Structure 1
């Protein structure tokens, strides 16, 4: 998925506004080190698990550089480089699988307790399942980890593994977890706002679509070939809006939009105010989700 830049030295003088390699000032480049973000040319960049690194950061990461103890390696979003770059992804997989096993053992009663419902009855509590409009806001979260069919959890967990691992390595654990949870909440909120309040909804699709949107943003930031992720997005949107399947398209769209917004803040925030911008945008998205839920609840009650 990576673009293959031309090899060999570039002796052309750099343009007035173009970034140049920090080791070879006469060479224009669109590639940056994923740790220190310094521009690097094709002769200096070293392939890493995510993107490219400069020679200094590679030496520091291996403990051979004289500044290795002083400089802590960082991801492209400013997060700490972890020894296990898929730890949070593995935990999220485990939680989803554990809930699936519990639901398979307990049956319909547990599904009804965790399912996303808006308002399933009018006046008589015995007429149906209570929902978010009755104050059960936890359903916005529990429905994100709930699956009923084997094919449903299989597709979602494959998407989580394929998309989540590289994103976790690129963003860092805390930022990646924030992206996943807020995207899932945004998907639940849009479903609650738009869908029939008597229609149940479940699945991690909102969070997975958030990861898909974030992957597109990250690949654009790293100057990778966008065609694979665009093709994957188109295929998923076709399945989302197909006329023959009972798919909660609201969760997909809500998660996708939230994922794109949060990822843009994660990878494009200025270094001097990086954490403020990143977590500030996360907070604003959460406020938007809360406002939408409150407004919908007021309308239903």
Structure 2
């Protein structure tokens, strides 16, 4: 039987709670309620406790990211702003959507030429992640991005959160490109948002929080994915799976090899996404 840890500030107090940032054991007298999980007094003050190295004393997120000053949800705000800006441009600029939507290979009458990723327009895999056509589409995605992003960004840190978002969206786009009909277009941040949804499940499980609300949200979105018309289910599933894999490595990776596990997993997801793109391009060429 493993020994029950003791609070780092009160050695006589047994506890099963750990700080969401530095992971030191904390008792009920020391824990400070945060937006996601509990934090120790030292991390709340932005410092470290005694008996730790200077590096360990630097405030870190649960995933090991550096905690910086300023807006703790900066990346979430910037991503929402980028999506809204692209949406506005799409409403104003003629044929902007035709030039940026994800599509395998097809002749576009509006542009008068063949378009698609297989025709060398690889940028569509990225641009389509920020592209929305209907107001309800962007409203739903941005609401979920805000709801899920604020907690994840706090626990992962800015860089890791941004990487999670972009790789989830790219994985969703790659699976769509691989499996969808070559002339079927796809757009939206749903793949990236589904990655955040999967990451939230991993995070709440790590923090031993009630999973029922988020699992109900996952179930609802999967029902919409498979029973709502004109939805690219491949983007949703690809993003969800990528989000779970990446977040699990970021949140549950061993502390002594944390960087290797985290960035190695991100590299593997990126490599697999690129492989799917290359295979599809070869099939369409």
Q: Give the TM-score, by structure 1 length.
A: 0.87
1:259 and 1:65, CA in 2 relative to 1: closer, same or farther beyond 3 A?
A: closer
1:9 matched residue in structure 2? none
Give the C-alpha shift of residue 44 in structure 1: 2.7
Aligned equivalent of 2:127: 142
- In the alignment, the residues of structure 2 paired with residue 50 and residue 68 of structure 1 have an alpha-carbon distance, to the nearest angstrom, of 24
1:86/1:169 contact within 8 Å kept: yes
Query: What's the offset of the Cα at 1:271?
Result: 1.5
1:272 maps to what in 2? 256
Out of 135, 145, 169, the residue aligned to residue 184 of structure 1 is: 169
Please point out which of 205, 213, 219 is paired with 2:198.
213
Q: Trace 1:29-44 onto structure 2 (pairs within 5 A).
A: 29=16, 31-44=17-30
Count matched residues.
280
Q: Aligned to 1:241, what secondary structure does the other structure show?
A: helix
CA contact (8 A) 2:21 2:155 kept: no
Which residue of the other structure, out of 36, 60, 72, is the alignment partner of 1:50? 36
Q: Residue in 2 aligned with 1:8? A: none
Structure with bigger gyration radius:
1
Q: Does 1:284 align with 2:268?
A: yes
Structure 2 residue corresponding to 1:256, chosen from 206, 224, 240? 240
Q: Residue 45 of structure 1: CA displacement? A: 1.5
**What TM-score does the superposition give when structure 2 sets the normalisation length?**
0.91
Q: Which residue of 1 aligns with 2:104?
A: 118
Contact 1:24 1:41 in 2 (8 A): no
Which of these residues, 142, 164, 186, is aligned with residue 157 of structure 1?
A: 142
**2-side partners of 1:16 and 1:269: how far apart?**
20
Backbone CA RMSD of aligned residues = 2.3
CA 1:274–1:25 in structure 2 vs 1: closer, same or farther (change >3 Å)?
Answer: farther
Matching residue within 87, 91, 103 for 2:90: 103
Write the distance in 1 (CA, Å) between the matches of 2:40 and 2:61. Answer: 13
Contact 1:112 1:129 in 2 (8 A): no
Shift in Å, 1:55: 2.8
* Separation (CA, whole Å) in 2 of partners of 1:209 and 1:69: 38
